[in-house]
Amino acid sequence: MTEISETKLPGVGTLHEFECRSGDRVGVISHHAGRREMVVYDGDDQDRVSESVTMTPDEARLLADLLGGTSVIERLDDLRHDIAGLAIDWLPISRHSPFAGRTIGDTAMRTRTGVSIVAIVRGDHPLPAPGPDETLRANDTAVVVGTADGIDAAAHILAAPGV
């Protein structure tokens, strides 16, 4: 996984940057005011930004989509900021999971832990808002939202054989 570094820019916002395999360094500045600035670092002087593009949040989301990103995760991220105490996690469904090949309804997740499965990521494709009769498959990732304790319990249910 690429290492992303985060720098706080007091009065401006936050800068996230990483180095691509090609050696180019790119970054995104999230301004307090909401707009996004995409920056590319100079090959010769690595402290200097050689190109910068300023985008509205909508344009940034569009670019992320065009680059093959998924907007599900970002929207969930927004949600987390809004509600204190709400946790979100990505739980892998392994081959040994008792629920690989069974439906979401079978897990009775909401009744048992209060946790909701809000999306399933299958390969590169996210399945947002799956219904209770959606089948979980091995190697899926379940995106869950709930309290931190609830998510611990949910991880246990999805991982442990039996129960």
Partner 1 sequence: MTLAAAPGTATLLVELGAILLGLALLGRLAARFGIPSIPLYLLAGLAVGEGGIVELVTARDFIENAAQIGVILLLLLLGLEYTGAELTTALRDHAPAGAIDLVLNFTPGLLVGLILGWDARAALLLGGITYISSSGIIARVLADLGNTGNRETPVVLAILVTEDLVMALYLPLMAGLLIGGSAIDIGFEIGIAIAAVITALVLAIKFGHRVSAIIFHRSDENLLLSLLGVTLLVAGIAEHLQASAAVGAFLVGIALSGPAEHGARTVLAPLRDLFAALFFAFFGLQINPADLPPMLTIAVALAVLTAGTKLATGWWSAKQAGIDRPGRLRAGATLIARGEFSIVIAGIAVAEGIEGDLGPLAAAYVLILAIGGPLLARAADPFGRRFSQRAGTSPPTRLASHQ
Contact footprint for partner 1 (CB under 8 A): 7-12, 15, 17, 22-24, 27, 29, 32-33, 37, 39, 41, 43-49, 51-52
Measure Cα distances from 97 to 41, 101, 109, 139, 161 in Å: 44, 9, 14, 10, 6
Identify which of residues 52 and 56 has a Cβ nearer to partner 1 in the complex: 52
Identify which of residues 19 and 134 has a Cβ nearer to partner 1 in the complex: 19
Which tokens sit at 100?
């690989």
Give min distance, CB of 2 to partner 1, in A: 16
| Beta pairing partners, 141 | 92, 121
Give min distance, CB of 13 to partner 1, in A: 9
Give min distance, CB of 66 to partner 1, in A: 21
Identify which of residues 23 and 161 has a Cβ nearer to partner 1 in the complex: 23
Give the Cα separation of 129 and 149 in Å (integer).
Answer: 22
